[in-house]
Every structure is written in C-alpha cells, then in structure tokens.
Amino acid sequence: MTRADAFGMLLAFAARLITGAQGHWKGCPPKAEQRIYFANHQSHFDWVLIWAALPRELRAVTRPIAARDYWTATPFKHWITREVFHAVYVSRARTKDASGAGTEDQDPLEPLVEALSHGDSLVIFPEGTRSAKPEPQPFKSGLYHLATQFPQVQLIPAWIDNVQRVMPKGEVVPVPILCTVTFGAPLARIDGEDKRDFLERAHAAVLAQRPLTA
Amino acid sequence: MGLRALAVNEQVALLFVIVFGVLLVALIVWFALSLREMGEPAQQRHARFARDLRAVWVGAVLFWLAWMSGAVGATLLFGIVSFLALREFITLMHTRRADHRGLILAFFVVLPLQFTLAGGRWFDLFTVFIPVYVFLAIPVVSALAGDPARFLERNAKIQWGIMVCVYGLSHAPALLLLEFPNYGGRGAFLLFFLVVVSACAQITQEAASRRLRAMPAARHIDRSFSARAWWLGVIAAGLIGAAMYWATPFKPLQAFALAALAAGAGTLGELVMRALKRDAGVASWGNASALTGAVGLLDRVAPLAFSAPIFFHLTRWYFRV
C-alpha cells in the first residue's frame, strides 16, 4: 500500500466517524460502470463525503474536479488532489467563461472530456459554486455538454444532506453530524432535448433525492 | 456458596461464559427457526427478533471488551459509544449556525473530559462537572457567537444532548470502576446487574402492554405505555434483581429496591426519549431511511443513559463509597 492509499483510507475513516457518510443507493447499485455523478453543492466537504460514501473499489476510478490555481498552490494540496483523489484539474478563469455566460466554447471542458474518454467516472457539482440556500441554484451548462458528448456514460443524480451543518462557512473544526448521500436512478436521455430543458430536468432529479424527513 | 470460593476474575469470567452461552443458544434457536416455512407476521417477528438479538450480541461483546481492557479500555469504549450517540442526537435537533462552537465544545472537550474523570475515578468532580460547570460553559460560548434567535431552545437542546449521551452513558464505565469495600474488581457485576434488570423491565413492560390492553398513559407519545405495564416491569426487575443479589454487594432487599428503582428509571427514560423523537418527527433515532450503516444506537442505550446515573448515585449515597 502506498502512502497515498493509506492517507485516503484514513481520510475516509475520519469522514465516516464524523458524518457517518452513508450512501443510500436508491436508484442504482454501486457498480463499476462509467458514470457522471452530479450533486448539490453546499460545502467544501461535499466531495469527501461522496467519495467516502462510495465503496472502496469505486473510489480509485471516480475523480473530482479541482481548480488548478487553488489546488496546486502548495505541495500538500497538490499531492492530496493528485495522488489521493486523482483530481481532474481545470483552470478556473476559463471555466467561468464557458459555464457562466453561456458561450458555446467547449475548450474548458477538455480535461473532463479527456478523463471521460479514459473511462474514468466523474463527480461534478453543476451549480458551479457553493450555495447556502436550501434549494440548489440553476445548473450550469457543462453537464449538458458532457452528457451529449458521452451518451453511453450514466448520469447519476445525488443529494448530499446535512453537510452544511458539519462545517459552516468560515469554521475550521467539523462538528460530528450524520450526513447521507442519496444516489438516484440514472437520468434518461431524451433525443433532441434542448439545453435548458435538460438542465431543468437534471436539477429536478437532484432535488428529488432529498430525504423527506430533513 | 461455591461461587464465592472462586477468585474475582474467575467469577467474572464465568459470568461472561454464561451470558455468551445463553446468547449462543438464542442464536441457534433463531437459526433453526429460520429454516422453517413462515407466514408474513411470523416472518416479521422473526426479523425483529434477529435485530434485537444482534443488538444484544453487540452489547455483550462490548461489555466483555470493556471488562477485558481495564479502566482505560472501558472508558475509551464507552466514550466512543457516547460520541456516536451524541452524534445521532445532534443530527435530529435542528441546530443553527451559531451553535457550531458550542457543539465543538460538547464533542471535543466536554465528552473526553467527562470520560477521563470516570476513568480516573475522580467521582466527586465526575458527578458535578456537567450539571454545574458545563451548564454555564455552553451558554457562554453560545452567547459569544452573537445569535439571540431561539437562544434558550438551542442551548437546552445541546445541554440535553450532553446530559443524556455523555453524562448518562459515562456512568457505565464509572460503575465498572466503582470500588466497594470487600468487593474489589467486581464492577462488571454491577453493570451487568443494571443491564439485566433494565432489559427485564423493558421486556416485561412490552409483553404486559401487549397482553393487558390497558389505557395508554400518554396516547400521543406512546400508544403502548401504560401505568400498569410499567409497574409490572418494575416489579419483575426487582424480583430478578433480588434473585441476583449474590452477584452484587447488596443484601436481597437492597438488591430488590435498587433494581426496581434503576429499571423503573430506565423505562421512564425510554418514554422520555420517545417523546423527544415525536417532537423531532422521526420513528427511530439514527437515519430514518437508512439502508446501511449504524442505525438507532441511541434507541438501544437510552434506558441505560437514564438508569445508570440514578443507580450510580443511589449506590454511592447509600453505601457511602
């Protein structure tokens, strides 16, 4: 076992100790198929939670997306994203162009396209930024472009519950509170569906995974 | 009595052999039953029994490990249980952003300190640390966070969580470590005594309320809880306690009274927890829709959390230890 593997296991253990990191596979089994998981985004902790909720053998092939300027700034940040999480780096400035103003420039998605062509699975947060509101913000178009380019990859909606209580913005020490990740049924492709309808449908699919008791 | 001739360690070991023997028999019976054809209700009962049996197994293994590993191990083990229980409790209490520091204090300062006090046998400070000192510290931290909205309610929630999950459960290792004159090293029996009489009261009460169909005492909280069933549970616990007096430092009548009081407190505590669950709008603690992972630990330990402090206090007070 390498140092990165050991560190990853330790991190997953810590995440489970603090949040329980329970994965509820409601709509699909945890299988080693190529998938894009898309989820609501409320905290820096979201990625770790999804990652810890996955079975161990899926963790190695499921990759997050990391902003290059922030996550390569120090050797430790670089090491943890590269070696432990196998992150896909994107440049933030260019991502903003593509997903923000709605230009059809495909270039910023290139690292993601490359990762998907390798057969890796991805976790993306289509809101683009963390939001403190109970309902997720409208989705950015990146998910749509990836979905049309890779029609064979399953699109799995996921809802991450409670995580904003674990570590609110500006705090450093997490509070132990049980969190869950609910994975829904793969989003169906509809031929000829336009971008806006698709994104609304994806948004609704994520929201539909929210547990009723919360 | 032949048992008294054995060394303390051998007595405790014998106790565990008996407990695990009984559990093994229960497991075999369960397995034999599962080979049979069953109807729908029988299947449900069977599944419920399996769940309860598993919980008892986990509990028994926990106690065994606690006893094996001595003061440090026992404290650590129950500390972890307390941590998980508090995590469940806080999850269902809707805390606000300003509670963050208070919760950190509860989880990472109060909990370890309380269990350290138990493990070190500093019982005088142990019994007042949370009701006196933490009672002030939590609202101070909360006030400093500067959010006046629902201040009393939020602090009450955290203080309650600490009282039940930390203060209550920390009395389990404290019982293990309590030193009686001429009774050294047999704290395991005290804890065992408490757990057995509580379980007995629970089972009797449940069976009685199913048979009796008595008026529920508080229909909106618990449809099955009735005064008559509760009394039956208390008396059954007392009788079992009296029958077990030889394993404890008590005389038969003392054992009867202590068992009845502690078990009665435990079943009442369960009623209180049910009211809290109703308030939070869930059927059981833990994640309501959980398919995997730890579920409802708090449900299992809640009676202990209420009965252990009372049992501990009565024992110390009456016997001046």
Instruction: Tell me the CA distances in angstroms from A41 to A8, A123, B97, one per residue in order.
Output: 22, 11, 17
Q: With respect to residue B78, please indicate whether it lies within any of the assigned structural domains.
A: no
Model pTM? 0.82
Interchain contact, B87 vs A20, CB within 8 Å: yes
Based on the fold, state whether residues B315 and B232 are members of the same structural domain.
Answer: yes
Based on the fold, state whether residues B137 and B252 are members of the same structural domain.
Answer: no
Considering only CB atoms, B100 lies closest to which of A22, A23, A171, namely A171
Interchain contact, A176 vs B107, CB within 8 Å: yes
Chain A / chain B CB contacts < 8 angstroms:
48
Q: With respect to residue B75, please indicate whether it lies within any of the assigned structural domains.
A: no
B120 vs A18: CA distance, rounded Å: 27
Is residue A178 a contact partner of residue B89, using CB atoms and an 8 Å limit? no
**Residue ranges making up the domain that contains B48:** 1-68
Mean pLDDT of B298-317: 89
Residues in chain B closer than 8 A to A173 (CB atoms): 104, 108
Interchain contact, A165 vs B291, CB within 8 Å: no
Based on the fold, state whether residues B13 and B127 are members of the same structural domain.
Answer: no
The predicted structure's pLDDT at residue B214: 74
Q: With respect to residue B81, please indicate whether it lies within any of the assigned structural domains.
A: no
Pick the CATH number of A3-208 from 1.25.40.10, 3.40.50.720, 3.30.465.10, 3.40.1130.10: 3.40.1130.10
Is residue B291 pLDDT above 50, yes or no?
no
Interchain contact, B87 vs A23, CB within 8 Å: no
Interface of A with B (CB under 8 A): 20, 22-25, 162, 165, 168, 171, 173, 175-178, 180, 211, 213
Interchain contact, A20 vs B103, CB within 8 Å: no
Based on the fold, state whether residues B172 and B182 are members of the same structural domain.
Answer: no
B24-29: long-range contacts at Cβ-Cβ below 8 A with a sequence spacing of 24 or more? B26/B53, B26/B56, B27/B53, B27/B57
Mean pLDDT of B226-238: 91
Considering only CB atoms, A213 lies closest to which of B83, B108, B282, namely B282
State the nearest Cα–Cα gap between A47 and chain B, in angstroms: 20
Please report which confidence band the pLDDT of residue B290 belongs to, taking 50, 70 and 90 as the band edges.
very low
Is residue A21 a contact partner of residue A176, using CB atoms and an 8 Å limit? no
The predicted structure's pLDDT at residue A210: 84
State the nearest Cα–Cα gap between A168 and chain B, in angstroms: 7
Domain tally, chain B: 3
Based on the fold, state whether residues B230 and B132 are members of the same structural domain.
Answer: no
Find the helix or strand (DSSP H, E) in which B297 lies.
helix B297-319
Residues in chain B closer than 8 A to A211 (CB atoms): 288-289
The conformation of residue B107, written as its DSSP 8-state character, comes to I
Percent of residues, chain A, with pLDDT higher than 90: 20
Structure tokens at B319: 């016997």
Based on the fold, state whether residues B20 and B132 are members of the same structural domain.
Answer: no
Per-residue pLDDT of chain A (214 residues; tens, 9 = 90+): 788 889 988 988 888 888 887 888 888 888 888 999 999 988 878 888 999 999 888 888 899 988 888 888 899 989 988 888 999 988 866 444 444 444 444 467 888 898 999 889 999 998 877 777 778 888 888 899 899 899 899 999 999 888 888 887 778 888 888 888 999 999 988 888 888 899 999 999 998 888 765 4
pLDDT in tens, A81-97: 888 899 998 886 644 44
State the nearest Cα–Cα gap between B252 and chain A, in angstroms: 44
pLDDT in tens, A108-122: 788 889 899 988 999
Q: With respect to residue B13, please indicate whether it lies within any of the assigned structural domains.
A: yes
| Cβ neighbours around B68 below 10 Å, total | 14
Considering only CB atoms, B287 lies closest to which of A175, A176, A178, namely A178
Based on the fold, state whether residues B215 and B104 are members of the same structural domain.
Answer: no
Q: What is the end-to-end Cα distance of chain A in Å, rounded?
A: 39
Based on the fold, state whether residues B223 and B290 are members of the same structural domain.
Answer: yes
Based on the fold, state whether residues B2 and B101 are members of the same structural domain.
Answer: no
Interchain contact, A178 vs B282, CB within 8 Å: no
Is residue B217 a contact partner of residue B238, using CB atoms and an 8 Å limit? no
- The mean-pLDDT minimum among B32-46, B113-127, B232-246 falls in B32-46
Residues in chain B closer than 8 A to A20 (CB atoms): 87, 287, 293-294
- Helix, strand, coil % over all residues of chain B, rounded to 5: 80, 0, 20
| Residue of A165, A167, A179, A182 to mutate, testing the B interface (most B Cβ within 10 Å of its Cβ) | A165
Residues in chain B closer than 8 A to A178 (CB atoms): 87-88, 91, 286-287
Based on the fold, state whether residues B259 and B166 are members of the same structural domain.
Answer: no
Residues in chain B closer than 8 A to A168 (CB atoms): 97, 100
Could you tell me which chain A residue has the CA closest to the CA of B290? Answer: A24
Based on the fold, state whether residues B163 and B197 are members of the same structural domain.
Answer: no
Q: With respect to residue B305, please indicate whether it lies within any of the assigned structural domains.
A: yes
3-class SS at B214?
A: coil
Q: With respect to residue B189, please indicate whether it lies within any of the assigned structural domains.
A: yes
Mean pLDDT of B112-132: 93
Q: With respect to residue B88, please indicate whether it lies within any of the assigned structural domains.
A: no
Considering only CB atoms, A213 lies closest to which of B86, B100, B288, namely B288
Interchain contact, B281 vs A213, CB within 8 Å: yes
| Cβ neighbours around B224 below 10 Å, total | 16
Q: With respect to residue B321, please indicate whether it lies within any of the assigned structural domains.
A: yes
The predicted structure's pLDDT at residue A96: 47
pLDDT in tens, A203-212: 999 988 887 6
The predicted structure's pLDDT at residue A92: 67
Phi, psi for residue A8 in degrees, rounded to 5:
-60, -40
Considering only CB atoms, B287 lies closest to which of A22, A168, A175, namely A22
| Residue of B91, B157, B282 to mutate, testing the A interface (most A Cβ within 10 Å of its Cβ) | B91
Write down the residue that tokens 């990759």 correspond to. A63
Could you tell me which chain A residue has the CA closest to the CA of B292? Answer: A22
Instruction: Give residue limits of the domains in chain A.
Output: 3-208
